[in-house]
């Protein structure tokens, strides 16, 4: 039995060796060797591709550079044209005798101001149709001028509307004494409707000749009771327009006119001083 064991082991080993040889995968065949001609052909193709690519990129760069150069040339031409035009304008200004527009407009504005009379916030006016002087408040906030009146009575004369009234005065008002309590008659130019907190009111408007310093104008006055106010008359912007401007820092810039029976103009300073004292106390 001992003689068969080595033989059996030998058979087993031989069988395993044979099976192992059959399980091993086949090796891939090696690629054929590259010949020198094929290698040279590949190098030629690569060189041609590089040359073509470089030529394309160079042409694109060249076109971009040419476009940039054209834009710069156009800009230079435009700047040169603007500089030439500016030089022509400077030459015209140097040889031009006309006053520049801004200076001319300033001169025209100054002329308009010089042609207007300067008034203070309070002035003296004269009413030749009535025969007296009165203090007047200059108020650009009011449209129409107004005159203090009481006992306003409408009536007809020759088919037209007239009004009869007395000057509305208080003890502090400076007037010619002879007109106090006297009736004044004038035709009604029109009527204005005034809306106040107490209700609507229709007021007659009359036209009176008025003097103020060098000014002599016919002025439309609305008749209303102003006895509760400091000034018996008020001048609105309809009168001021185109002929006067207001300096609110001043008052009584023009002398008080003189009328028969009234006090001399040089005595007006006393009445004016009273107004200034009242304003200083406020």
Q: Binning pLDDT at 50, 70 and 90, where does residue 211 land?
A: very high
Average pLDDT, the chain: 82
Beta bridge partners of 124: 135
Q: Within 13 A of 154's CA, how many CA atoms are on the CB side?
A: 13
Q: Quick one: how far is CA 274 from the chain centroid?
A: 43
Q: Got the DSSP string for 141-178?
A: T-SSEEEEEEEEEEEEETTEEEEEEEE---TT----GG
Mean pLDDT along residues 106-124? 74
**CA 131 to CA 193: how far, in whole Å?**
29
- Place 253 in a pLDDT band, splitting at 50, 70 and 90: very high
Give the chain's domains with CATH numbers: 123-281 (2.40.70.10)
Average pLDDT over residues 136-143: 93
**CA-to-CA separations, 252 to 128, 224, 265, 277, in angstroms, rounded:** 19, 24, 12, 14
CB atoms within 10 A of CB 211: 16
Is the pLDDT at 230 greater than 80? The verdict is: yes
Is the pLDDT reported for residue 23 higher than 50?
no
* pLDDT digits 0-9 by tens, 239-248: 998 899 999 9
Q: 237 and 146 in contact (C-beta within 8 Å)?
A: no
Q: Is the predicted pLDDT of residue 127 greater than 90, yes or no?
A: yes
At residue 15, the pLDDT reads 57
Which one has a higher pLDDT value, 31 or 263? 263
What is residue 114's predicted lDDT score, i.e. its pLDDT?
A: 64
Residue 5 pLDDT > 60: no
Q: Given this model, what pLDDT does residue 3 score?
A: 47
pLDDT computed for residue 21 by the predictor? 46
Q: What is the mean pLDDT of residues 142-150?
A: 95
Residue 18 clears pLDDT 60, i.e. is over it: no
Amino acid 115: pLDDT:
80
Question: If you average pLDDT over residues 13-33, what whole number do you get?
Answer: 57
Q: How confident is the model at residue 104 (pLDDT cuts 50, 70, 90)?
A: low
What pLDDT is attached to residue 56?
81
Q: How confident is the model at residue 282 (pLDDT cuts 50, 70, 90)?
A: low
pLDDT of residue 113: 61
């Amino acid at each position: 039995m001992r003689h068969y064991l080595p033989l059996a082991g030998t058979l087993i080993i031989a069988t395993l060796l044979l099976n192992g040889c059959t399980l091993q995968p086949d090796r891939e065949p090696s690629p054929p060797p590259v010949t020198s001609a094929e290698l040279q052909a590949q190098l030629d193709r690569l060189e041609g591709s590089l040359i073509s690519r470089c030529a394309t990129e160079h042409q694109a760069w060249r076109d971009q550079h040419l476009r940039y150069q054209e834009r710069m040339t156009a800009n230079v031409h435009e700047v040169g044209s603007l500089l030439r035009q500016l030089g022509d304008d400077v030459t015209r200004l140097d040889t031009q005798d006309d006053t520049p527009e801004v200076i001319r407009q300033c001169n025209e504005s100054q002329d308009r101001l010089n042609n207007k009379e300067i008034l203070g916030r309070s002035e003296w006016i004269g009413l030749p149709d009535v025969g007296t002087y009165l203090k007047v408040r200059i108020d650009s906030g009011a449209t129409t001028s107004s005159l203090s009146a009481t006992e306003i009575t409408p009536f007809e004369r020759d088919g037209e509307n007239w009004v009869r009234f007395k000057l509305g005065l208080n003890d502090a008002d400076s007037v010619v004494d002879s007109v106090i309590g006297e009736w004044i008659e004038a035709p009604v130019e029109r009527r204005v409707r005034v809306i106040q907190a107490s209700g609507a009111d229709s007021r007659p408007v009359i036209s009176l000749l008025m003097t103020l310093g060098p000014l002599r104008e016919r002025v439309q006055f609305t008749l209303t009771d102003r006895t509760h106010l400091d000034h018996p008359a008020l001048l609105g912007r309809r009168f001021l327009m185109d002929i006067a401007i207001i300096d609110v820092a001043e008052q009584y810039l023009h002398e008080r006119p003189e009328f028969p029976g009234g006090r001399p103009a040089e005595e007006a300073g006393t009445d004016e001083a009273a107004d200034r004292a009242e304003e200083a106390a406020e």
